[in-house]
Amino acid sequence: MKKLLCLYLGVILLACGKVDDQFIPKLPNCLVLTEDIHAVRVQKVNGEWHYFLSSDNSFVDGPSYFINAKCDTVCATCGRCSPPECLLKYDENAWTTIWERE
């Protein structure tokens, strides 16, 4: 009986440690949603969540920023600049919208 109980507890502990690949993070606590941000999209890059702060502007209208969960800028695009190399690490089809302005 004691062995069965230990086996049962072991299975429960292993199940609790299971990682859900469908997990989508919430907005970082450090992020301040200003009026120019219309949507926040997220994707995981090399084990780290990156957030795209979409202003719904074209590249000519102004910069777009990509931040990590600590709100450090990890990539940025600007109006009349060539696309930076940091954009290559993102999969254009992998972004998930986690917040939109109504």
Question: 67-72 — which CB contacts under 8 Å span 24+ positions?
Answer: 67/28, 67/31, 69/25, 69/28, 70/28, 70/30, 71/28, 71/30, 71/31
Q: Which comes out higher in pLDDT, residue 2 or 72?
A: 72
Tens digit of each residue's pLDDT (9 = 90 or more) over 48-86: 999 999 887 655 567 889 999 999 999 998 877 788 999
Decide: pTM greater than 0.85.
no
- Which DSSP symbol is given to 66? E
Neighbours of 33 (CB within 10 A): 12
Domain segments of the chain: what residues?
27-100
Q: What single letter denotes the amino acid at residue 100?
A: E
